[in-house]
Amino acid sequence: MNVEFLNTLASVVANATPLVIASIGETITERAGVINLSLNGSLIVTAMAGFIAARVISFGVDVDAIDMIASAEAGLIGGVVVAMLVGALVALIIALSSIELRLDQVTVGFILTLLMADLAQFLGQEYTRIPGPVVPKWPVPLLQDLPLLGPVFFQQNVLVYLSYVLVIGLWFWLFRTRPGMAHRAIGERPEAAYARGTNVNRLRYVYVVLGGALVGVAGGAYSLHFKPGLSNPPAMQGDGWIALAIVIFGGWHPFRVVVGAWLFAALRAVSSDIQKNGLAVLGQTIEFNFVLLNGLPWLMLIVTLLLVSSGAIERLLLLLPGPVQRRMRSVLRSDPPRAIGTTFEVD
Amino acid sequence: AQDEIIYGVVLVGPRNDRGWSQSHFEAGQYVEANNENATMLFFESLNEADTPEATLMDVVTEMVDSGAEVIFTTSASFEQDTNGVAEAFPEVVFINITGSNVLHGDAPFNVGNFNTLMEVPRLLAGCSAALASETGKIGYLGALIDPETRRLAASSYLGARHCWNTYRADMGMDLEFTVTWIGFWFHIPGFTLDPTEVANEFFDNGADVVISGIDTTEAIQVAGRRASEGSRTFAIPYGNAGGCDEAPEACLGVAYYNWGPAYLDVVNSAQDGSWEQSWDWLALDWMDINNPDTSTAGYLRGTGMPEEIAANLDEFQGALADYMSAQDMGVESIYLWEGPLNLQDGTELAAEGEAVPLLDIWFSPQLLEGMIGASE
Amino acid sequence: MLLPVLLSLLLAALLVLAVGREPQEVLEKIWQGAFRNTRSFAGVLNFWIPLTLASVGLFVTFRAGLWNIGIEGQILAGAIFASAGALTFDFPPELAPLQLLLQILLGVLGGMVWAGITGALKIWLGVNEIFGGMALNALAGVWGIYLISGPWYPEGGSAQQSRPFLENALYPPLSRDWPVGLLAIVMTAVAMVLVPLIMARTRWGLQLKATGSNPRSALLLGVPTTRVAMSAFLVCGALAGIAGSYRVMFTYGSFRPLVAGGIGFLGLLVVLLSTMKPLWIPLITFVFSAILAGSTRLRVSLQLDSSLAGVLQGTLVLVFILFQGLRQRLEARRGDQAGDVSQASASSQSGLTG
Amino acid sequence: MDIELRNIHKRFGTVHANNDISVVFPAGRITGILGENGAGKSTLMKILSGYQPADTGDILVDGNASRFSSPEDAIQEGIGMLQQDPLDVGAFTTLENFVYGRPERVLPDWQAARKDLEEASAHLGFDLEAETPVERMSIALRQQLEIVRLLALGVKALILDEPTTGISAEQKQTLFAALQQLAHRDGVIILLVSHKLEDVITLCDKVVVLRDGRRIGEEDMPAPGETDPVTLEKIKSQLVHLMFGQELGPHVRLEVPLDKVVLQLENLNLRDRRLQIENLNLSLRQGEVVGLAGLDNSGQGLTMRAICGLESVSSGRVLLEGEDMTNRSYRSFLHRGVVFGAAGRLEEGLIAGLTLTEHMALVRSGRAVLDWPALESYTSESLKHYDVRGEAEDRIEQLSGGNQQRVLMALLPANPQLLILEQPTRGLDVESARWIWQQLLERREGGTAILFSSAELDELVAYSDRILVFHAGRVHEVSDVASTTIDELGYLIGGEFKQV
Ligand SMILES: Nc1ncnc2c1ncn2[C@@H]1O[C@H](COP(=O)(O)OP(=O)(O)OP(=O)(O)O)[C@@H](O)[C@H]1O
Ligand SMILES: Nc1ncnc2c1ncn2[C@@H]1O[C@H](COP(=O)(O)OP(=O)(O)OP(=O)(O)O)[C@@H](O)[C@H]1O
Ligand SMILES: [Mg+2]
Ligand SMILES: [Mg+2]
């Protein structure tokens, strides 16, 4: 396998990282029965907040400053923290309006999507297109030397590793721990959770805010590494919607979610590769109009959702042998959490 | 003791995009700095997406209302509208950059166009890319495809090819010059390719220099990030003299515009009523290509440029200047837009020894033979 | 009703102060920018027309319980189709009205096609309209960029717009001092009066409401729910198509890939703000248009970023919606209806899977 | 332990759901709670099990007063309730449901839990399979799981709200056996809320009757095994009298002459996610009433919906008066006077947010432009006729369940060809159920054919001319209902077709 190809794979994994983190955050939220539709806006506004915080900490408020007043690490950590807080704050608005005010989550989420995007541009204008601290690459000792796996997965930065941890962690949490059961239960059947002594609405606050905080991390990941700095229009514009779709494609299961995210990132890589080399089918290469190629990811988005709604993915279950079926059930199940989008009240 | 003059600058992008729009904004500031009687009005991000509620007509109306006598409409996307607006305000002088209506003769009398020989800084950019490259692979981050973008990409290629063959023969391999078009002048997320990802791909696939042909600075960002991670990657931003600032250590140089002097001429001549319609392909100052008061475009070397290549670059630049300035500086003179040149499909553009006429360059129908990438 | 408006105006004022500007100065500039003279007023109307058309269309889809986020794409598709007409036809002057009509119809068709696809995906294939819509918005944009860079590339020009349309391909302006398409105003006025009337008085309107509230029950009560949902999409698409045609056939006079410019999204906010009371829609759209168009002057003289207007509108709607919720909760508290544990009340057509 | 309720009061707005109720539940006894719809049974039980607080009044457990602010509290005190629709999580497996809610560590000890589950269910003669997802299990099994779970939490008083609806005779026996064992051997207090007099009589030691929120009587039941029909009838009528303050005359079947064939099914094959039905044949005549028996999700629902175009038919034909209507849309059936009534009222059938007039307008007006005044008065008329307690401009969700059911009746066309009704009397008390059937039988005399499903075996036996019994997609026809006992039917439902 040649090095260019490994590089490309590594880039796909890297480019997918913010999507993974954001979709995992949204998965946490939706598993608790709440939709945070504001993802697109949240990502943009948290990217803005994270970058400005990091920039100000490392370089001071002067936007023309070129020498640091504090270490890049300090700036980066501060940036991620601020991004998390902002993401959590936006999510809190949704939690409050849904739990306390019984407002439609989709409505509030949509308004926030637009508002946050504009807010980010408004507050960020002075800080666009200026350099700031960038999350450095950090190859994992030992693991980085693994053949194939090493270069692709373990010669990345901490954010990428964080995404691995989140995926596996969330899976373990949801399907192996007792509080994880409560987490799923409040999204599936809050009444049952309540009957078992779970404080449904308090937990919903917790998970909505937590999910929002992760969306914040994703936003920070963009402006502090993957699409460094701020720009107008924001470079991650639209990814929030893709992340939301990935959650559905992922059947609210962390493993399927991460696959979905990598799929999209790969597709983007492919569509610009096709522009250069055309698409090789059975020997002869087909040339594509390079502009139309940019539509590919969006077609893909529709197709993946079709796969889910047509139950195609779930049908895989039937093909599998019994014991495997039982193992794979939670992965291939595509039903949304039953109580998603609903409010829960006692008396 | 001249009377006050107000002039307007209409930008298609944000004034701090570190590229095209910023260079025009700074040109406006240059005028204010050099003509104490002149005051600037400006309007940024005038495009259907950022300001759906305003057309060029609305903005110009407001500017004229506030007393503007000269208005610079700084994008080819304003070319058509500028004509209409100019008819509505015959007493105001309009300059559309980089239109060619005046050339075609279908512009009102009060419209002027100008452009500059960005092709030359591009030759230098291409050359330094070739000189700095260790892998012999150079990526060109293209915008949308039209004659302007084709001729700029082609110039970069000519510069690169020349310097590669002249100074890097020892490498013993052919230069690989690949163009990827993102689909528009800047990144419209979801509608165009993402320049950040395209730049990453160039580097992933072995390129070590990426030349930017778009309004914004993703190329230098990515190069800088990778350099900070220890890999040997460079970029050459485009448009604005400050282009390197986002990652100086990874910046070979920047091919930039310096519209200030031209703006000043127009404002002054409008002030004393001596302005006349013209379509100018503004010259550079061959003696001092980076002179802010005399050269309308330049190539500023970046702190990231390995000094060992400087000598070769100087030599090439000198030879170029010798030809362009049409006066003998005692060095051989080189003009790369010169036969034998073939278009990408093999048809001949210029035969052995003959130079390509400026207008043929201006309306470049295709990329050149030897470049990898789509011509339309 | 009034309180939230006042509060968000206060927020707006604070925001303006925060960026070091005088609120009432800003207000003045906006007012002058919008109502200084007939031409500036025409500028307001030129934005009001497409915004109102889109909002009225969205009122219909909301009635049917649909989140037609795809409206941006529908406006753009309308613009593309209308432009196709404008770039092909060239009828003799005496037939100019016919050409205009044809182009508008093409616009309508374009909007309907795009809405139809979203609808088909939603209704027959179970792809939630929010995501289908988002994807189709982007696809329309990609298509637009393709057209100007390929088939509609203006010879010798720059690939950022089609060649300008000929005189007879444009909505005729009312007069030199009133640069606004009379025909378009008439169509908008008709739509904003007729649509609410139809909603309230006809069986179709009732069936829409029924389908929107509970499609399964509606079906059992004899409502042709799929037909009804689809019709909602198509009506909205048609209106969006007219809006798109106006953008290219009057505002810009040539095709540009981003002509939709977020008008559709703004329309969604408008309808949310109207709390489904259709008579408010044209008023809200008028205020929004005045603020936006007026802010052009603001930006020339005071250099405020274009996003400010967006921030203000967003805050306004958010605060308003939150207040609404608060009021309802308080009323509910007063008329104390204790709920029952075993019935968690659904507050939204849950789930985004379809 | 034993439990005493003292002067319990509970108001919902104007409704006085529980009015000064005092009652004692001694250990080791099975007590039945009877009462018509809205009598206050569920409310009382929810108060006792911590789902709702009482306005005033005391709950004494072993003599000392306790207040429950949540079901959890109640369980702490040893009181647990089994809701009619068991409160479990469908996406969970049996084991997960069992573990969730136990005082476990963050990482549960799955092995131990599994052992407990299996032992407990064996102890009560249940057969629960740890790994099956609950959403694939029948009501009966889910009840068993819930009972096992509650007992494992140390519950000493078990409340069951209408547990015998929708389970087979066999499952009912298992359940009752388990309950008796729990009460009489383990000394658990059992409270049984039910509308089914037979069940109450056979299982309970005593019965408490509520009416309009008051406790109006208490009856001791005969020892289990009492079979003398006369005594049983006597007790029944006493209870009915207590519940409704009046006797209900016995329901007499009147035979209507069956006329031409309306509906014909020719070896119909149906399939959905869960089960498939093969070669279903049926012909239904005008005025004929056919009941569909079976546990929930055994195929009745699928069949009824497929017959009127709401589910797709994979092969075979559906003939309406000889015309092939296979896989036509529901509306085309509707145009031919075939109307489907679903079990859930506000979920399927009525539209929360719409007024009664708007409902009527939907079904009655064939005109494109609506004449609201006319519709308004028309609606008021029919509301009177069906004595619905509600105004034409009320929104449907403001009406009580019983009245919503009446509105559904009012929406039906005057004389439909065929009525397909899913559990038309679900959750209604004997009296309201009677009223509904009057309405239906009137139409039947007008020649309407009726196809209905029900979880109440006695209802099926009482009103059907023929019964189709569904079990896991297999269908068994019972042609002479008159000579079929409820028990026989119960076994058929359980799948023992051989026994008959
Ligand atoms: N749930 C229902 N119960 C009883 N009758 C119904 C019901 N729904 C519809 N009907 C009757 O069945 C017929 C079909 O309904 P509907 O009015 O939608 O058909 P329609 O008037 O032909 O409408 P369209 O013109 O759209 O076909 C009407 O006569 C209506 O009164
Ligand atoms: N959460 C509530 N909000 C308002 N009213 C309620 C609520 N719960 C019960 N009620 C009213 O209190 C009265 C008693 O209701 P309850 O459910 O206890 O009756 P029930 O005996 O269980 O009837 P059924 O046999 O139908 O279950 C009814 O009039 C009911 O409408
Ligand atoms: Mg109809
Ligand atoms: Mg009850």
Query: Does the CB of B198 have a partner CB in chain A at under 8 Å?
Result: yes
User: At the top level of CATH, which class does the domain A3-332 belong to?
Assistant: mainly alpha
pLDDT, tens digit only, all 347 positions of chain A: 688 889 999 999 999 999 999 999 999 999 999 999 999 999 999 999 999 999 999 999 998 888 889 999 999 999 999 999 999 999 999 999 999 999 999 999 999 999 999 999 999 988 998 989 999 999 999 999 999 999 999 999 999 999 999 999 999 999 999 999 999 999 999 999 999 999 999 999 999 999 999 999 999 999 999 999 999 889 999 999 999 999 999 999 999 999 999 999 998 888 777 777 777 666 676 667 778 888 888 999 999 999 999 888 888 877 888 788 878 888 888 889 999 998 998 76
Amino acid at C315: T
Q: Is D391 a domain residue?
A: yes
The answer to whether the CB of C130 falls within 8 A of the CB of C108 is: no
**C-alpha to C-alpha distance for C118 and C74, rounded to whole angstroms:** 10
pLDDT value at position A119?
A: 94
H-run or E-run covering D22: strand D15-25
Q: D16 and D149: one domain? A: yes
The three-class DSSP label of residue B178 is: strand
Specify the pLDDT at position B1: 43
User: How far does the centroid of ligand 1 lie from the alpha carbon of residue D320, in Å?
Assistant: 18
Measured between CA atoms, how close is C204 to chain D, in angstroms? 7
CA count, 13 A, side-chain hemisphere, B131: 28
Tell me, yes or no, whether D430 and D398 share the same domain. no
Neighboring chains of C (3 or more beta-carbon pairs < 8 A): A, B, D
Report the sign of the C-alpha dihedral through residues A267, A269, A274, A280, in that order: negative
**pTM, two decimal places:** 0.93
Instruction: Answer yes or no: is the C-beta of C340 below 6 A from any ligand 2 atom.
Output: yes
Q: Could you tell me if the CB of D492 is within 6 A of ligand 1?
A: no
**How do the domains of chain C map onto residue ranges?**
49-289
User: Looking at chain A, how many residues does it have?
Assistant: 347
D157 and D208 part of one domain:
yes
- Give the pair of three-digit tokens for residue C132: 């289908």
State if residue D427 touches ligand 2 by the CB under 6 angstroms criterion.
yes
In this structure, what DSSP letter does residue B169 have? Answer: G
B182-221 pLDDT tens trace: 988 888 888 888 999 999 999 999 999 999 999 889 999 9
The residue in chain C having the minimum alpha-carbon distance to the alpha carbon of residue D337 is: C222
* Residue stretches of chain C with pLDDT short of 50: 337-354
Token digits of residue D263: 């509906």
pLDDT value at D250 more than 70: no
**Least confident residue range of B192-201, B223-232, D272-281, D330-339:** D272-281
- Give the tokens for residue B236: 């050459």
- Mean model confidence pLDDT for chain A: 92
Torsion of CA A20, A26, A28, A30, to 10 degrees: -140
Which of C311, C13, C313 is CA-nearest to residue A118? C311
The last residue of one of the domains, among D197, D226, D244, is D244
Which partners does chain D have (≥3 C-beta pairs < 8 Å)? A, C
**Centroid of ligand 3 to alpha carbon of C224 (angstroms):** 6
D289 three-class SS: strand
The verdict on D126 and D184 lying in the same domain is yes
One domain, residues D285 and D426: yes
How do D157-161 and D3-12 pair as beta strands?
unpaired
Q: What DSSP string runs through D307-327? A: HTTSS--SEEEEEETTEE-TT
D48, D3 in Cβ contact below 8 A?
Answer: yes
pLDDT of residue C340: 34
Other beta carbons within 10 angstroms of residue C301's beta carbon come to 17
Q: What number is the average pLDDT over the span B149-160?
A: 95
How confident is residue D500, by pLDDT bands cut at 50, 70 and 90? very low
Among A276, A298, A302, pick the best mutation site for testing chain B contact (most B Cβ within 10 A).
A276
Provide the mean pLDDT of chain B: 92
Residue D257 Cβ < 6 Å to ligand 1: no
CATH of the domain at D418: 3.40.50.300
User: Lowest mean pLDDT: which of B39-53, C340-354, D71-85, D242-256?
Assistant: C340-354
Give percent above pLDDT 90 in chain D: 58
Enclosing domain of residue D33: 3-244
For β-strands D56-61 and D64-66, DSSP reports them as antiparallel
Q: Under a CB-based contact definition with an 8 Å cutoff, are residues C278 and C195 in contact?
A: yes
* Whole-angstrom distance, CA of residue D251 vs CA of residue A200: 48
Q: Is the CB of D330 under 6 A from ligand 1?
A: no
Amino acid occupying residue A65 = A
| Single-letter code of the amino acid located at D256 | V
Look at D346 and B171; give whichever has higher pLDDT: B171
For C292, the closest chain B residue by CA position comes to B53
Provide the 10 A C-beta neighbour count for residue C248: 29
Whether the Cβ atoms of residue B199 and residue B224 lie closer than 8 Å to each other:
no
Please give the structure tokens belonging to residue C65. Answer: 């319980």
Beta strands of A145-289 (E only): which ranges?
279-281, 284-286
Rounded to the nearest 10 degrees, the angle between the axes of helix D430-445 and helix D401-411 is 0
Instruction: Please tell me whether the peptide bond between A190 and the residue prior to it is cis, using omega within 30 degrees of 0.
Output: no
The residue written with tokens 């029965």 in the block is A33
D315 plus D426 within the same structural domain: yes
What's the pLDDT score for residue D249?
A: 64
Residue D44 Cα to ligand 2 middle (Å): 10
| Locus of tokens 């703000």 | C273
SS3 content of chain D, % helix, strand, coil (to 5): 35, 25, 40
Is ligand 1 within 6 A of the CB of residue D339?
Answer: yes
Task: Compute the distance between CA of residue D34 and CA of residue D27 in angstroms, rounded to an integer.
Answer: 20
ipTM for the assembly: 0.92
Q: D264: phi > 0 → left, psi -120 to 50 → alpha, else beta; which?
A: beta
Q: How many CA atoms lie within 13 A of B333 on its CB side?
A: 13
Question: Residue B257's beta-bridge partner residues?
Answer: B297
* Residue nearest atom 24 of ligand 2, based on CA coordinates: D37
pLDDT digits (tens, 9 = 90+) for D191-213: 999 888 888 888 999 999 999 89
The three state secondary structure string of A47-82 is HHHHHHHHHHHHHCCCCCCCCCCCCHHHHHHHHHHH
Last residue of a domain, one of D244, D275, D303: D244
In chain D, how many domains are there?
3
How far apart are the C-alpha atoms of B358 and B119, rounded to whole Å? 11
Phi-psi region of B305 (alpha: psi -120 to 50; beta: other; left: phi over 0): beta
Nearest to A188 among D51, D91, D131 (CB): D91
Taking any CB pair shorter than 8 Å as contact, residues of chain D touching chain C are: 12-13, 46, 51-52, 83, 85, 87, 310, 330-331, 334, 340-342, 346-354, 358-359, 361-363, 365, 367-370, 411
Do the domain assignments include residue D342? no
Q: What is the DSSP string of B292-327?
A: TTT-SEEEEEPTTS-GGGHHHHHHHHHHHHHHHTTS
Q: Which residues of B touch A236 (CB under 8 A)?
A: 189
> Cβ(B9)–Cβ(B73) under 8 Å?
no
Nearest CA to ligand 1 atom 1: C221
Tokens 């009652």 -> residue? D23
3-state class (DSSP) for residue A341: coil
Nearest CA to A224 among A288, A274, A157?
Answer: A157
Half-sphere exposure of D55 (CA within 13 A, CB side): 14
Distance, CA of B114 to CA of B263 (rounded, Å): 10
Backbone angle region of B102, left / alpha / beta, with phi > 0 → left and psi within -120 to 50 → alpha: alpha
- Across the interface, do A248 and C353 touch by the CB < 8 Å criterion? yes
| Average pLDDT taken over every residue of chain D | 89
Is there a contact between C220 and D362 (Cβ–Cβ < 8 Å)? Answer: no
CB-nearest partner of B189 from A235, A271, A290: A235
Q: Among D244, D270, D289, where does a domain finish?
A: D244
Domain residue limits, chain A = 3-332
Query: D40 alpha carbon to ligand 2 midpoint, in Å?
Result: 6
Other CB atoms within 10 A of residue B332 CB? 10
Measured distance CA(D428)–CA(A125) in Å, rounded: 65
User: Alpha-carbon distance A25 to A48, whole Å?
Assistant: 19
- D26 and D98 share a domain? yes
Please indicate, yes or no, whether residues D363 and D418 belong to a single structural domain of this protein. Answer: no
For residue D307, give Cα distances in angstroms to B143, D282, D294, D441. Answer: 60, 11, 17, 21
B42 and C306 in contact (C-beta within 8 Å)? no
The CA distance from B355 to B351, in Å, is 8
List chain A residues with CB under 8 Å of D113: none
Q: Residue C124 burial by CB count (10 A; 0-12/13-18/19+): exposed, middle or buried?
A: exposed
CA-nearest residue, atom 28 of ligand 2: D38
DSSP A316: H
Contact between residue A36 and residue A26 where contact means Cβ atoms under 8 Å apart = yes
CA of C224 to the centre of ligand 1 (A): 9
Indicate whether D117 and D203 sit together in one domain. yes
pLDDT per position as a tens digit, B18-34: 889 999 999 999 999 99
Query: What is the CB neighbour count within 10 angstroms for residue C190?
Result: 10
Are A179 and D72 within 8 A, CB to CB?
no
> Which residues lie below 8 Å from residue D371, measured CB to CB, with a gap of 6+?
D365
Q: Is D435 strand, coil or helix?
A: helix
User: Among C233, C245, C250, C236, which residue's Cα sits nearest to residue C105?
Assistant: C245
- Residue whose Cα lies nearest atom 30 of ligand 2: it is D38
In chain A, residues with a C-beta closer than 8 Å to the C-beta of B183 are 290-291, 294
At position B80, the amino acid (one-letter code) is Q
